[in-house]
Amino acid sequence: MGQILLVIHVVIAVAIVVLVLLQHGKGADAGAAFGSGASSTVFGSRGSASFLVKITALLATGFFLTSLTLAMLASREAGPPASVVDMVDEQVELEQAAPEAPVDEDSDEDAPPPPSD
């Protein structure tokens, strides 16, 4: 389920990028001087602006919904949320509960040196 949704999410993202690049900006009127006449387009004399805007809005809504769904799926797989403070407290408790290394009473490391006569 998650993998299919992720593939759909990526396809929608790529489609949004392509559609945004296809749309004319507000300064696109200057492009008409270089031969981009709107009367001979597939979408009619009005152009493709309204069609591309509607499709972009639909894809943006789909991108939003897939983002939310993927976030919900990821949070369910992660388990209950944990605080950083809780993890530090657990580490301190583990360090306090760990027994110290046993001291060897026969070792001569801490013993005073023998008297020299």
pLDDT in tens, the chain (117 residues): 889 999 999 999 999 999 999 887 766 555 555 555 555 555 555 556 688 889 999 999 999 999 999 999 998 887 776 677 777 777 777 777 766 666 666 665 666 777 776
pLDDT for 89: 72
State the Cα–Cα distance between residues 78 and 23, nearest whole angstrom: 40
pLDDT for 99: 64
pLDDT for 47: 58
pLDDT for 75: 85
pLDDT for 90: 73
pLDDT for 22: 86
State the Cα–Cα distance between residues 29 and 38, nearest whole angstrom: 10
Whole-prediction pTM? 0.54
pLDDT for 79: 72
| Per-residue burial over 39-53, b = 16 or more CB atoms within 10 Å of its CB, e = otherwise | eeeeeeeebbeeebe
